[in-house]
Every structure is written in structure tokens, then in C-alpha cells.
Amino acid sequence: MEQNRGSWGSNIGFLLAAIGSAVGLGNIWGFPYKMGKSGGFTFLLIYLLLAVFVGFIIMMGELSLGRKTGKGTVGAYRSLSKRFKWIGWLAVFSPFVIMSFYSVLGGYCIEYMSLNLSNLAFAGAEIKTGADLFGAMLTNPFGCVMFTLLFLVICYLINRGGVSGGIEKFNKVGMPALFVMLVIIIIRSLTLPGAMEGLKFMFVPGYAVKAGFIKEAPKFATVLATAGGQMFFSLSLAMGAMITYGSYLSKQEDLVKNSAIIVIADTIVATMAGIAVIPAAVANGIAQINAGATVIDAVTGLERAMTFADIKLGGPSLLFVTLQDVFQAMGTVGPLFGVIFYLLVLIAAISSAISLIEVVVTYFMDRAAEKGKQGNRPKVVLWVCLAILVEATVVALDGLGTNVLNIWVPLQNSFGVIGEFNDCWLDFMDTLSEGIAMPLGALLMSLMVGWEIKPKTLLDEIHQGSAAKIDGFFSFCMKFIVPLGMLLILVGQVDTFFHLGIF
């Protein structure tokens, strides 16, 4: 059965697909706003350290785990470990949960792209503000479900083509296109008046507080937990994606070099996305302040002049309200940049979503092979996408807590224990997967590799295609640094979500 499993067409094809999995909404949306919320530069520094000492190590670990066993997540853990064989299930469950909101956000991108396209085609027609558009979109649950469906249909068509015939093909065109579009948006963003304030916010230590963007710097533990969670999500780790992609990789490829390239490329794109998004949002805010804009004060309820602290750099509003306003403020060329930007985000979302879907698909395909049968890929992909559509419909109908199916507000009113949830299904699913399952999965994986099967088991696999002298570094990080970092991140996440005040 082994030869029927399929493999990547080339190493560059694998690399583009892995980078495609890593580069997603997490880079373009999550990274800039988490960086903003966490005081800019400190976050960047911690993120980079974590990427080298934790992200790079786990990336090598996952790719080698997949390649060594030639199996998807469940099969890989099962064949290597007695004590931890069930972790594989965690890593099939989490991608499935992530897809519940990832596909809804992908649907939003399609909607915004078409909206800008129609603004481009019907120049001069009445144009709504970003906030009005976002509100109109969320309160139209039927539309949200339809766009989510459209997003899933695109993913279905790609995944059914297989690893080299679908995923690799899409990324070979999609990734270079995304890069070019990102450069175009960066140039436009940095040439807006006031953009330099945004750059300083990102790269000058302490500037976010000094200039009044945020009141005070967040606690170190909070920044660590935020940066850690973000790093995992952004690198597609502890979700089975890299184990799955690694299982289709040929033995002679260099896993050390490949892991380094994926981590570096993802970090560069996240930083570039920050440079594309933050300065544009700040420039637009400054233009509003200079024009004498006012806001309603959240505490006093009175109208007052807008300040730097009112520039929205976080949450879904950054992508779908603030940036839409930026494009609208650009005049006739605005919608063109809008189309480019939302298409870019859409490609990033698709290339990540197909890796999440592939984790689940590969599990079913491997299971069929174990039973001596040849799995029917199109059928498996169809069922997986349909199951995702069901859970995504709940998130889409909820409209970030504005619509039907919202059980979180009444729950919070009754028990008041859900802490940081924004009272919506998306946050619940995000907490479950990104917040808890991801660091937990990584912690267990490092314990398994570091202490049960021993790092040497994976190092032997890594050395099949690489002579790099990383044994000491890999073993030390896997045994001590990764578990410690994961534990801190996990406790930090739980602390933030439930307001326990541990740190």
C-alpha cells in the first residue's frame, strides 16, 4: 500500500506547501494585532527567541516523526509510543476544531474581496464605512454561511487533487503571488502620511506606551503566553499538519535545512504583514485625529476628541473595519488595493486550511490502507469538508456573538467564569484549539520524544538527509527548554482566559 500513499513532487513543492500552511490568518491578522496589544518590540523579541528554541525544534521533531513512520498523526504516535499513543487523536481533533472558525474567516475574506471588486467596477457609487460593512456582514447569517461554503468548496477542490496534484500545485502559484501582493501593499502602506509612527510602534522599544497607543506595558508572563500561542499557531505546530506533510517527504531531503527555511519564511512574512497592516492603520487613525474626529468615551459615555489609544489595532476589526477604511480613504485606487489585499489574505487562508483538512483526510486514508483497502480520496475529502461545514455553520450563524446560536452570553451572565471569551463561538473554538490543545499537544510531544522514545530516535531520521551537528542542541531543547516553555505558555493561557491571577 505504501506506494499508493503519494508524495511531494519536489522539495521546493513541499517547502512552498509547508510555508503555505504556516503563512495564514495567524500571520496577517493575529501577528500584527497581538504585537500591538503586547507592546510592540518586546513581543517581537520574545517571539523570535521562542521561534528558535522551541518552534524550530518542534518543527524538526514533527517533520521527522511523520517521515520516519510514513503515517499521519494518529498512526505516527501509535507506532512510536506506548504511553503517548493517544496524542495523535488530540492532533486530529484540533485541526478539525480550528477549521470551524478558519473557514468562516476565509468566507469573510471572499466577501470583502468581492465587495472591493464591486466598488472598483461601480466607482462613484455610495461607499459605506468599514464598520457599517462589517456590521451588515455579521448580521446577515445566511450570507456568512454561503461564503463559508464557498471557501470550503475551494478547499475541497484542492484537497481532492491530492498532495502533489492539489496542495503542491496550489501553493506553487499561490505563495509567490502572495509575496508579490504583500510587497505592493507594504509600499502603499509605508507611503501614507503618518506611517512612520506605525513603524516606530513596531520596532522602537517602549514607543507604544510612550506615544499613548496603550496605557501600560503588559506583564511579562502575558507577553510570553501570547507570543508562545501565536508562534505555535503561526508555525502550524502541534496540530498534526507538519507530521502529515512530513509523512509525504522523501528520505533524502534535509530536514534541518527545511525546518529552518519554514520558520524563517513564516517569521519574515509575519513581520512583513505587520509592516503592511500596522502603519496603514496608524496612518489612517492619525488622519482622523487631524481631521478632528471624536469618539464616545467608554467610561464616561461622553463625546471626546479621538486619541492614539482609540486607533483600533486589534481583533477582527483590524482586518475588516480599520483596513477597509484605509482602502476607502485612498479614493479611486483604494478598491484596487482592497482587492489585492483581501485576495492575499484569502490565498493565505486557503493554503493553511488545506493543510488542516489534509491532517484529517490523511488519517482516514491511512486507516483504509491499514485495512488493506485503497481509500477513496475524493469521497473522504467530501465527508471531512461536510463535517467541517456543520461546525462552521454554528460559528457563521453566531456572527461573532451578534446573532442566533449564541449561548455564551447567557452562560457568562449565569456563571461569570468564562473570563476572556468575547462571548462568541469563534472565541470558544479558538480557546479550545489554539489556547489549550496546541500547547498541551506540544508539551506531551516533547515529553514523549525527550524522555520516552529519546531524541536519538528522531535524530537518526533527521540524519538520513542532513549532516548538520544539531544533536546536542536538539536533545537539550527537546528535554528541557520545550517542556518548560510549553508549561509556562499553558499556565499563562489558562491564567489569562480565566483571570486566575497566577502571574
The residue (of 311 and 438) whose beta carbon lies closer to ligand PFF is: 438
The residue (of 228 and 465) whose beta carbon lies closer to ligand PFF is: 228
Grid coordinates given for 90: 488530540
- Segment 66-125, which members bind ligand PFF (CB under 6 A)? 95, 98
Contact between 241 and ligand PFF per CB under 6 A: yes
Applying CB under 6 A, the span of 175-183, 234-242, 312-320, 439-447 interacting with ligand PFF comes to 234-242
Contact between 431 and ligand PFF per CB under 6 A: no
Say how far apart CA 325 and CA 334 lie, in whole Å.
9
Cβ 397 vs Cβ 144: under 8 Å = yes
Say how far apart CA 112 and CA 237 lie, in whole Å.
29
The residue (of 77 and 408) whose beta carbon lies closer to ligand PFF is: 77
The nearest distance, CB 26 to ligand PFF, in angstroms, is 2
CB contact set of 293 (below 8 Å; sequence gap of 6+): 305, 306
The nearest distance, CB 355 to ligand PFF, in angstroms, is 5
Cβ 111 vs Cβ 96: under 8 Å = no
The residue (of 13 and 334) whose beta carbon lies closer to ligand PFF is: 13
Say how far apart CA 17 and CA 56 lie, in whole Å.
17
Contact between 352 and ligand PFF per CB under 6 A: yes
Options 15, 17, 22, 158; binder of ligand PFF; rule CB under 6 A: 22
Options 15, 17, 19, 25; binder of ligand PFF; rule CB under 6 A: 25
Cβ 175 vs Cβ 411: under 8 Å = no
CB contact set of 288 (below 8 Å; sequence gap of 6+): 306
Helices and strands (H and E) in the chain: how many? 25, 2
The residue (of 241 and 397) whose beta carbon lies closer to ligand PFF is: 241
The residue (of 13 and 95) whose beta carbon lies closer to ligand PFF is: 95
Options 42, 103, 159, 236; binder of ligand PFF; rule CB under 6 A: 236
Contact between 27 and ligand PFF per CB under 6 A: yes
The residue (of 26 and 130) whose beta carbon lies closer to ligand PFF is: 26
Contact between 356 and ligand PFF per CB under 6 A: yes
Applying CB under 6 A, the span of 17-25, 174-182, 194-202, 495-503 interacting with ligand PFF comes to 17-25
Contact between 239 and ligand PFF per CB under 6 A: yes
The nearest distance, CB 135 to ligand PFF, in angstroms, is 25
**DSSP at 448:** I
Spatial CA neighbour of 61 closest among 232, 266, 268: 232
Spatial CA neighbour of 491 closest among 436, 421, 450, 418: 436
Spatial CA neighbour of 73 closest among 190, 187, 224, 238: 238
Options 13, 24, 229, 441; binder of ligand PFF; rule CB under 6 A: 24
Q: What is the largest CA-CA distance in the chain?
A: 71
CB contact set of 455 (below 8 Å; sequence gap of 6+): 449, 471, 474, 475, 478, 479
The residue (of 209 and 432) whose beta carbon lies closer to ligand PFF is: 432
Say how far apart CA 486 and CA 36 lie, in whole Å.
23
Cβ 222 vs Cβ 420: under 8 Å = no
Contact between 148 and ligand PFF per CB under 6 A: no
The nearest distance, CB 205 to ligand PFF, in angstroms, is 25
Contact between 355 and ligand PFF per CB under 6 A: yes
Is residue 416 classed as helix, strand or coil in its secondary structure?
coil
The size of the interface with ligand PFF (CB under 6 A), counted in residues, is: 16
Grid coordinates given for 315: 481583533
**AA letter at 408:** W
Contact between 233 and ligand PFF per CB under 6 A: yes
- Beta strands 294-296 and 303-305: pairing type? antiparallel
Options 8, 16, 18, 26; binder of ligand PFF; rule CB under 6 A: 26
The residue (of 94 and 328) whose beta carbon lies closer to ligand PFF is: 94
Contact between 21 and ligand PFF per CB under 6 A: yes
Cβ 314 vs Cβ 36: under 8 Å = yes
Grid coordinates given for 477: 531543547
The residue (of 470 and 482) whose beta carbon lies closer to ligand PFF is: 482
The nearest distance, CB 102 to ligand PFF, in angstroms, is 7
Residues that bind ligand PFF (CB under 6 A): 21-22, 24-27, 95, 98, 233-234, 236, 239, 241, 352, 355-356
